[in-house]
């Protein structure tokens, strides 16, 4: 499969973000000032804003992508769409903004106050029904592929700090990775975030590169092999990425989270016609 289809208004792409909202997400992320839930929510909200920016032309926001966000763990055993109950065109996303927030960021050594949109708030409660979240994503992807059979394949990015509490997520992930368009199978990227101050493992090729920890090996196996046509972008941030590498970062800190979101979406931006 090529993963070479251009993205246009006639043949849009699809991004789905899954975010763990379980109680363990209340702990501070490694390398960050805030909880994993807060940092994950901020990162996805900003990525959505970046997608809008990249799709904005002189005539407005063009519908190059459909996007959706699914949260799992906000209620015991449950998962739901956080912006809408199905993916929506990127040009409709602005109408779903909850509010605008001002935050101070250090840019080139100077603290600058910026304003950015918030589509959903951080949550950290209950368990980790990742299987439920993936099951909803599978239905979204199934429906979308039927309507867009020749588009660039869907990209699903999952952000979690641990294992599922409602079964084996690999079973559903394997089913998702078998759903595809004429251009290739759905891609799953996994960011395994942590509060541990330990070395992360980025885009491993073999499971032996990942610590012998049940959930780490599980998330490695449910991550897509990065297509050769996309390796160059991953190598811009991580020089040791080889052919056959999986779209997975273990023990990710805040910097890794931001990088993975950027790489996982930028590989598709480059296909916009």
Whole-prediction pTM: 0.93
Confidence of residue 30 (pLDDT cuts 50, 70, 90): confident
The DSSP annotation for 24-93 comes to: GGGSBPTT-SSBHHHHHHHHHHHHHHHHHHHTEETTEE---EEEEEEEESSSTT-EEESS-SS-EEGGGG
Tens-digit pLDDT profile for residues 184-226: 999 999 999 887 777 889 999 999 998 887 788 999 999 999 9
Residue (of 111, 241, 136, 246) closest to 191 by Cα position = 246
The whole-angstrom separation of Cα 247 and Cα 51 is 20
Tens-digit pLDDT profile for residues 60-118: 999 999 999 999 998 877 899 999 999 999 999 999 999 999 877 767 778 888 888 99
31 has pLDDT over 80: no
């Amino acid at each position: 499969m090529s993963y070479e289809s251009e993205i246009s208004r006639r043949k849009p792409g699809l991004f789905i973000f899954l975010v763990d909202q379980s109680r363990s997400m209340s702990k501070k992320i490694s390398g960050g000032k805030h909880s994993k839930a807060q940092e994950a929510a901020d990162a996805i909200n900003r990525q959505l804003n970046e997608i809008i920016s990249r799709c904005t032309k002189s005539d407005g926001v063009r519908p190059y992508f459909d996007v959706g966000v699914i949260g799992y763990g906000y209620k015991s055993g449950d998962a739901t769409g956080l912006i809408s109950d199905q993916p929506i065109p990127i040009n409709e996303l602005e109408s779903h903004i909850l509010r605008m927030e001002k935050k101070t960021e250090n840019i080139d050594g100077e603290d600058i106050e910026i304003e950015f949109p918030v589509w959903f708030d951080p949550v950290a409660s209950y368990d980790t029904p990742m299987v439920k979240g993936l099951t909803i994503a599978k239905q979204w992807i199934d429906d979308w592929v039927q309507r867009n059979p020749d588009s660039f394949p869907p990209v699903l990015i999952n952000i979690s700090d641990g294992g599922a509490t409602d079964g084996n997520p690999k079973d559903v992930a394997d089913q998702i990775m078998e759903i595809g368009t004429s251009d290739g199978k759905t891609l799953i990227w996994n960011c395994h975030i942590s509060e541990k101050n330990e070395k992360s493992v980025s885009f491993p090729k073999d499971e032996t590169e990942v610590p012998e920890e049940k959930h780490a090996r599980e998330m490695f196996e449910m991550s897509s092999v990065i297509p050769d046509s996309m390796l160059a972008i991953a190598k811009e941030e991580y020089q040791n990425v080889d052919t056959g590498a999986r779209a997975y970062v273990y023990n990710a800190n805040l910097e890794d989270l931001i990088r993975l979101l950027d790489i996982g979406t930028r590989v598709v931006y480059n296909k916009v016609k």
